[in-house]
């Protein structure tokens, strides 16, 4: 499937992409969407390199409560964050590792909007002490009943599943991301979307393999970090 898919952690290298290169990458990946040999699911995080990251107030807690409750009622619409890290560092375009609440730069969101909005909504973030609020929080609304509960590890008291095994026939592979019913506070990314983001973000991104249809691919031992 992927040249790098047998590694449990991927920190992608490469120079920053221009907008024209990004469009080329997007078109190339989208023409092959759904044709990958094996299905795979990842957790995405910002890399550990020197990038500024966003730190949120308690507004994400309300979002996680909405997710854990079965997405009942209206999810929160207002989010506040501030930048952390050395001021000289570049601001990451994927600036938070919160598993429930991925954030993308407006540039990324504009490039991928059609696909992203098939699984959720992009909401504005108020960034304190910033010249512009040019980042969006991706609220993934699609919840899929695709977790193999017999093969996955049992959920802990907080409803988190350390080792996830998915049923391939039930996996929503045609969308970039989803949340599994057995672990609704975790945003899972499909392999083709990870390939696409890799091409756009280079060394800003880390991807931890959660599950693969290919038995030769070894998942990261603790992809969610608990």
Q: What is the mean pLDDT of residues 98-116?
A: 96
Q: What is the mean pLDDT of residues 128-135?
A: 84
pLDDT of 164-190, one tens digit each? 999 999 999 999 999 999 899 999 999
Residue 184 forms part of a structural domain: yes
181: alpha, beta or left, given left = phi > 0 and alpha = psi -120 to 50?
alpha
Residue 224 forms part of a structural domain: no
**pLDDT recorded at residue 67:** 92
**Would the pLDDT of 18 be above 80?**
no
Residue 1 forms part of a structural domain: no
**How many domains, in total, are found in the chain?**
1
- Mean pLDDT score of the chain, rounded to an integer? 85
**Would the pLDDT of 21 be above 50?**
no
Residue 222 forms part of a structural domain: no
Residue 219 forms part of a structural domain: no
Q: What percent of the chain has pLDDT over 70?
A: 83
**pLDDT recorded at residue 37:** 67
pLDDT of 85-97, one tens digit each? 999 999 999 999 9
**pLDDT recorded at residue 74:** 76
Q: What is the mean pLDDT of residues 101-123?
A: 97
Residues in CB range of 49: below 8 A, 6 or more apart: 11, 203, 204
Q: What percent of the chain has pLDDT over 90?
A: 65
Residue 122 forms part of a structural domain: yes
Residue 65 forms part of a structural domain: yes
**pLDDT recorded at residue 86:** 94
**pLDDT recorded at residue 159:** 80
**Would the pLDDT of 220 be above 60?**
yes
DSSP notation for 150-202 = TTSPPP-TTS--SS--B-GGG--TTSSEEEETTSTT--EEEHHHHHHHHHHHG
How many CB atoms are located within 10 Å of the residue 205 CB? 23
**pLDDT recorded at residue 69:** 85
**Would the pLDDT of 23 be above 50?**
no
pLDDT of 69-87, one tens digit each? 887 777 788 899 999 999 9
- Domain span including residue 44: 9-212
Handedness of CA 164, 169, 174, 175 (dihedral sign): negative
Q: What is the mean pLDDT of residues 139-168?
A: 92
Residue 67 forms part of a structural domain: yes
**pLDDT recorded at residue 156:** 87
Please tell me which residue, 41 or 27, carries the higher pLDDT value.
Answer: 41
Q: What is the mean pLDDT of residues 197-220?
A: 95
């Amino acid at each position: 499937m992927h040249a790098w898919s047998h590694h449990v952690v991927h920190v992608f290298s490469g120079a920053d992409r221009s907008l024209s290169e990004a469009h080329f990458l997007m078109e190339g990946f989208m023409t092959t969407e759904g044709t990958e040999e094996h299905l795979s699911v990842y957790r995405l995080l910002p890399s550990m390199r020197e990038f500024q990251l966003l730190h949120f107030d308690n507004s994400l807690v309300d979002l996680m409560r909405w997710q854990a409750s079965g997405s009942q009622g209206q999810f929160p619409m207002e989010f506040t964050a501030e930048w952390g890290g050395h001021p000289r560092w570049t601001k990451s375009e994927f600036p938070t590792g919160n598993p429930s609440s991925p954030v993308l730069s407006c540039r990324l969101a504009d490039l991928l909007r059609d696909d992203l909005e098939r699984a959720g909504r992009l909401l504005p973030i108020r960034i304190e002490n910033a010249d512009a609020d040019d980042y969006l929080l991706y609220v993934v609304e699609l919840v899929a009943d695709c977790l193999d509960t017999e093969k996955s590890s049992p959920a802990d008291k907080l409803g988190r599943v350390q080792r996830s095994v998915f049923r391939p026939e039930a996996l929503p592979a045609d969308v970039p991301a989803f949340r599994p019913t057995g672990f609704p506070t975790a945003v899972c990314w499909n392999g083709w979307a990870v390939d696409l983001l890799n091409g756009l973000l280079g060394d800003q991104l880390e991807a931890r393999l959660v599950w693969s249809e290919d038995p030769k691919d070894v998942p990261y031992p603790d992809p969610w970090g608990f």
